Amino acid sequence: MALRHAVLAALLDEELSGYQLVKAFDLGVANFWHAQPQQLYAELTRLEKDGLITGREVVQENRPNKRLFKVTDAGLAELDHFTGTAAKPSFMRDDLVVKVQAADHVDTDTLIGRLTERAAMAEAKVELFGKVLRTMRGDRTEEEFLRHGERVGPYLTCLRGLAFEQGNHDWCVRTIAVLRERAAADVRE
């Protein structure tokens, strides 16, 4: 049931429409949860029905109207309660790691190709997160911002996302190097 809390958490800092929420979750900066558009729309409907958020219609010209949602007091209480529940352990679930597990039994060049793709993606995300962080803290240093900034939650989760992608990248690079070296050694024999 964490999706609903993820949506609540995302709506804390600003009123968003379903579409904007989808963008925030799907495109790029899904730094703290990942979800499909349809899931989000469905969850918004459920959350409103349960009174944890309220929506208001915004009439627009030259484009479809939208509904902006914000968290209610009941929603805030729900989030606070959620914080009290035990967090389940986080775990790895990554296609690419499965492929590497089988590294000794599959084609090395293909695998290196996949790892190279992923390394590039990870690097792009690292840069993106870096930019997001710089934007959030403005002209303050990180220390300064974390000490005295108003809302640090999103910054902290973004830091986790950054470290995760950095870890992804480093691991890919290391793994590529290992596989390359072994392939070269094989040829020499």
Contact set for a second copy, span 60-79 (CB under 8 A): 76, 79
User: Does residue 36 bind DNA (CB under 7 A)?
Assistant: yes
User: Does residue 114 bind a second copy (CB under 8 A)?
Assistant: yes
User: Does residue 105 bind DNA (CB under 7 A)?
Assistant: no
Is residue 100 helix, strand or coil?
helix
- SS (HEC) of 23-40: HHHHCCCCCCCCCCHHHH
Residue 67: strand pairing partners: 57
User: Does residue 66 bind DNA (CB under 7 A)?
Assistant: yes
Contact 130, 165 (CB under 8 A): no
For DNA, the closer of residues 92 and 185 by Cβ is 92
Distance CA 26, CA 33 (A): 9
Minimum CB–partner distance for residue 83 and DNA (Å): 17
User: Does residue 10 bind a second copy (CB under 8 A)?
Assistant: yes
For a second copy, the closer of residues 18 and 168 by Cβ is 168
Which token pair is 155?
């910054």
- Number of residues in contact with DNA under rule CB under 7 A: 25
Comparing CA positions, the residue from 72, 69, 76 lying closest to residue 55 is: 69
For DNA, the closer of residues 12 and 24 by Cβ is 24
User: Does residue 39 bind DNA (CB under 7 A)?
Assistant: yes
User: Does residue 97 bind DNA (CB under 7 A)?
Assistant: no
Which one of 32, 41, 82, 171 is in contact with DNA (CB under 7 A)? 41
For a second copy, the closer of residues 61 and 109 by Cβ is 109
- List residues near DNA by CB under 7 A: 1-3, 17-20, 23, 34-39, 41, 45, 60, 62-67, 88, 93
